[in-house]
Amino acid sequence: MKLLLLTSLLFSLFSAFGNNDTIRLADPTVFFHEGTYYLYGTGGADGFLVYTSKDLQSWSGPAGVNNGYALLKGQAYGTQGFWAPQVFYYKNKFYMAYTANEHIAIAESNNPLGPFVQKELAALPAPVKQIDPFVFIDDDGKKYLYHVRLQEGNRIFVAQLKDDFSGIEDSTLKECIHATALWENTASAPWPVTEGPSILKHKGLYYLIYSANDFRNINYAVGYATSKSPYGPWEKSADNPFLSLNNLHYNGTGHGDFVKDSKGKLNYVFHAHASDQKVSPRITAIVESSFTKNGDSADVITIQPNTFRFLLKK
C-alpha cells in the first residue's frame, strides 16, 4: 500500500512538472451546477478564467464567454489583483464574490460561464483593505460575508450581508480569528496571516476553514475552527492543520474550497507551489475529504492523502 501511494504521488508530481496541460490557478473554487463542475481561481491578468468538467477528473477550457474569462476587467469592479473568487447561486442568479485592487466586490450573471457584471463598477464599502470573500447563506436565509481585513496581519472577519449584496450591516462586523498557534506563523513574521476562509455547516456546527502562513511559505497549510454560531466564538481544532506539507509532502498547500461531487462525496480543491524551487505559477490540486467521528466531541475534518492529485486539462 505504501509503495502504491508513493507511486501515485510521484506520478502526480511528474505530471504537474512536465505537463503543459496542468491547470495553474491559485485560490481555487469549484462550483457544481446541474451536472457540471466549474473551476475558477486566481491567475488571469484581466479577471477570472473558468474551466469545466463532468467528473472532476478531466477539465476543458478556459471556457468563459469572453475569451475564456467568466469575469472580464471593465465589466465589473477592478483593474488588477483579481484574486480568490467564489461563485454561488441565489434566486435564479449566479453571483461571484471576489477580490480586486485589494477590495471585495460582487458581480452577477445568468450563466456560470459569465459574463459576471455589475451595473455600477464598485467594491463593497469598507474603511480598510479587505480580501478573500466567502458568502454563506444560512438555513434561515441570513447572508454572511466571511473575509480578510488587512489590519495588524491578515485577520478573518464576519458580518451579515445586506439582502441585495450591496454591503454589510456594519453593526454586525466581528473578528473571527487571527494567527496565534505555532503552525499558523512558522516564520514568526511580524505580519501574521490567516486567510482564505470558507464555511461548512455540519450537524448544527459551523466549521470555519482557513489557511495560515504567507502563501510563499512552504508551510502554508489549512486548518479549521468550530462554533455554534456564525459569529463565533470560534474554537480552533486541536488537529490543525488537516492539510499541509506534512501529510501531502508538497510545498505551499492551501487556500481552497470544499465541493461535494455528484455522489455527495466531499472534496477540497486548493493550490500548491509550482515546484520545490518556485512558488508561482501555483498548481491547482484536489483531495478527497470527510467528516470523521470523534467520540462525543465534534466531528473532525480529515483528508485522504492517497487521493491527492493535480487538475489537468483534456
Task: Count CB-CB contacts under 10 A for residue 57.
Answer: 12
Which residues, at least 6 apart from 264, have a Cβ–Cβ distance to it below 8 Å?
none
pLDDT digits (tens, 9 = 90+) for 209-251: 999 999 999 999 999 999 999 999 999 999 999 999 999 999 9
pLDDT digits (tens, 9 = 90+) for 247-272: 999 999 999 999 999 999 999 999 99
| Cell 450581508 sits on residue | 161
How far apart are the C-alpha atoms of 89 and 18, rounded to whole Å?
A: 36
CB 271 within 8 A of CB 282: yes
| Confidence at residue 4, expressed as pLDDT on a 0 to 100 scale | 44
* Nearest to 261, CA basis, from 79, 78, 54: 54
> What is the mean predicted confidence (pLDDT) over 106-134?
98
How far apart are the C-alpha atoms of 30 and 259, rounded to whole Å?
A: 6
| Confidence at residue 1, expressed as pLDDT on a 0 to 100 scale | 46
Q: What is the mean pLDDT of the chain?
A: 94
Which residues, at least 6 apart from 98, have a Cβ–Cβ distance to it below 8 Å?
48, 71, 78, 82, 83, 84, 85, 86, 104, 105, 106, 107, 133
| Cell 441565489 sits on residue | 90
pTM value?
0.94
CB 123 within 8 A of CB 101: yes
How far apart are the C-alpha atoms of 60 and 296, rounded to whole Å?
A: 44
If one counts the domains in the chain, the total is 1
Q: Is the pLDDT of residue 8 over 50?
A: no
Q: Is the pLDDT of residue 193 over 70?
A: yes
Of residues 14 and 197, the one with the higher pLDDT is 197
Cell of 245: 506539507
| Confidence at residue 16, expressed as pLDDT on a 0 to 100 scale | 54
Domain that holds residue 275: 2-313
* Nearest to 208, CA basis, from 192, 225, 222, 190: 225
Identify the CATH number of the domain in which residue 287 sits: 2.115.10.20
Q: Is the pLDDT of residue 121 over 80?
A: yes
Q: Which residues pair with 147 in a beta bridge?
A: 157
How far apart are the C-alpha atoms of 310 and 13, rounded to whole Å?
A: 8
